[in-house]
Amino acid sequence: MSVKNYLLSDLSKGQIESISTKITIEDVNAFAALSGDISPVHLSDDFAVKKALPGRIAHGLLIGARVSSLIGNSLPGAFGILQSFDIEFRSPLVPPQEIQIQGEVTNISEGTGQVSLSIIVTASGKLIAKCKAKTIVSLGTQTANI
């Protein structure tokens, strides 16, 4: 996996980057251990079904963590710092499932370097989450050293 190196001058309003990634049952188990969120809704199919869900569901912030990979690796990539992040979940995600994450530049403040992003997460065409993020992107001409 490569990391993009967009500087502020490389970005434009409407610019889009997308990634696809799979969320597996093993990912959910690992995220439960990492986060400490061991709710049975994430770890037990039986429990989830009794709650009228199709099966155990992925943690919302695991999905958010994958959105972080879009921001950190692709839009804007290495020269961006995440400043704020809002996420709204629209549908539960039952692993294993492939998700598509698409980010679009919605505003650029050239003076401050702040770049706003609108991001959607879908699985098989179904909307899973909508996000808004603000990043600070380097103005300068540094070259990547990674």
Partner 1 sequence: MKSESKKILIEKITPIFRDIFDQPTLTISEETNASSVSGWDSFAHINMIVALENVFDIKFSTRELGEMKCVGDLLRLLQLKGVSG
Q: Could you list the residues that contact partner 1 (CB under 8 A)?
A: 83, 107, 109-114, 134, 136, 139
User: Least distance (Å) from partner 1 to the CB of residue 106?
Assistant: 11
Minimum distance from residue 107 beta carbon to partner 1 (Å): 8
Output 19 or 139, the one with its CB closest to partner 1: 139
Closer to partner 1 at the Cβ: 12 or 145?
12
Q: Decide whether 57 or 115 has the Cβ nearer to partner 1.
A: 115
Give 129 or 137: the residue with its C-beta nearer to partner 1: 137
Minimum gap (Å) between residue 128 Cβ and partner 1: 28
| HEC per residue, the chain | CCCCECCHHHCCCCCEEEEEEEECHHHHHHHHHHHCCCCHHHHCHHHHHHCCCCCCCCCHHHHHHHHHHHHHHCCCECCEEEEEEEEEECCCCCCCEEEEEEEEEEEEECCCCEEEEEEEEEECCEEEEEEEEEEEECCCCCCCCC
Contact by Cβ (8 Å): 11, 108: yes
Q: How far is the CB of 110 from partner 1 (least distance, A)?
A: 6
